[in-house]
Amino acid sequence: MVEVVDDGEDGSNNGTKFFESFKYKNTQKDKSGEWINKDNSKLGMLTQVVKPNYFEDDSIPDLTAKDLEGFEFICQIKPKRNPDTGKVLGSIIDWESMRPVPSKLVTLATQVGGEDDTDESEFDDLPF
């Protein structure tokens, strides 16, 4: 189950929950092959968000359900539609928009009031 923590807008969708599926892909069209976590897929993108460089580094362990407990990521959510009728059935994650939540928030500090010791003559020859 997925829960919207912050909708990035007015908060009216915060707390909304929906079911989402992440599927292994079969190496054969007739599904007689091996089931794998494929790089260019919704499960693959989730894996990359949870375990960066997973597909490049064989030493990184497989994704497990435990890895996802309480895990947060940023993504867009779009309507899930019936492919035949176009009717909206619910919501799905736009898997191509998934990315990790930044680990550090960048804070810009500005000096408010007080004297500034900058010698502005250093900037006199700038071309604008």
CA 38 – CA 25 distance, rounded (Å)? 6
Give how far Cα 64 sits from Cα of 10, 19, 21, 86, 122, Å.
33, 18, 14, 34, 57
| pLDDT given for residue 104 in this prediction | 58
For residue 56, give both structure tokens: 């490049």
Tens of pLDDT, residue by residue over 30-81, are 999 999 999 999 999 999 999 999 999 999 999 999 999 989 999 999 999 9
Q: Which residue has the higher pLDDT, 23 or 121?
A: 23
Q: What is the mean pLDDT of residues 99-114?
A: 56
CA 48 – CA 52 distance, rounded (Å)? 5
pLDDT band at 109 (very low <50, low <70, confident <90, very high): very low
pLDDT score of 121 more than 90: no
For residue 64, give both structure tokens: 């497990």
Q: What is the mean pLDDT of residues 21-27?
A: 94
For residue 23, give both structure tokens: 């599927």
pTM for this structure? Answer: 0.72
